[in-house]
């Protein structure tokens, strides 16, 4: 089972291009200035099977979408369930570009099985003192946009290259 709070069909701020975004419920961090404070309680949202959420997301993906993003809350608070959701999606649509937003750092989560299924991780807790509204796809300067397959292959952080034409800016 997995807890989610909402699904948005057309986001342009949660990764490159137009994206479907699943907002997962629950976050242990309680960052000052949190963007989604209603998603912090673990017991909130709606609980569904991983297959149900995956099917819901697949139905929303169309040719106009550049991919799928998981935000929250913190999706990596439910790593096993997220793994099942993304596995189901990858089995049906292996080409789908998948981003995950997490307060955990890459170093903390790099060994989770789900990391082998995602393309980009926006990592690190939101830090109000480093907030910068000019940043693309992240809220504070301490956060990183990481190319996960390259980082896993090289054994060190490879930042995702933001091509402005791809990022729709």
- The per-type count for the chain, helices as H runs and strands as E runs, is 4, 7
Could you give the angle at which helices 79-92 and 50-60 cross, rounded to 10 degrees? 50
Q: What percent of the chain has pLDDT over 70?
A: 96
Which domains does the chain possess? 2-154 (3.20.20.70)
**In the predicted model, what is the mean pLDDT of residues 42-58?**
96
The per-residue pLDDT for range 87-108, each reduced to its tens digit, is: 999 999 999 999 999 999 999 9
**pLDDT of amino acid 35:** 83
Indicate whether 164 pLDDT > 80: no
pLDDT tens by residue, 53-81: 999 999 999 999 999 999 999 999 999 99
Q: According to the model, what pLDDT value does residue 30 have?
A: 87
């Amino acid at each position: 089972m997995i807890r989610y709070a909402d699904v948005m069909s057309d986001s342009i701020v949660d990764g490159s291009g137009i994206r479907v975004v699943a907002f997962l419920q629950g976050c242990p961090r309680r960052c000052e200035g949190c963007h989604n404070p209603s998603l912090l309680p673990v017991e909130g949202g709606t609980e569904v099977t991983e297959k149900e959420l995956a099917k819901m997301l697949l139905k929303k993906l169309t040719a106009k979408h550049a991919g799928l993003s998981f935000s929250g809350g913190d999706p990596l608070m439910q790593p096993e369930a997220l793994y099942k959701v993304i596995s189901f999606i990858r089995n049906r649509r292996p080409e789908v570009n998948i981003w995950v937003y997490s307060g955990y750092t890459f170093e903390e989560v790099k060994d989770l099985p789900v990391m082998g299924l995602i393309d980009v991780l926006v990592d690190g807790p939101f830090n109000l003192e480093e907030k910068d509204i000019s940043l693309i796809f992240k809220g504070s300067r301490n956060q990183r946009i990481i190319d996960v397959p390259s980082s896993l292959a090289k054994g060190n952080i490879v930042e995702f290259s933001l091509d402005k034409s791809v990022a729709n800016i």
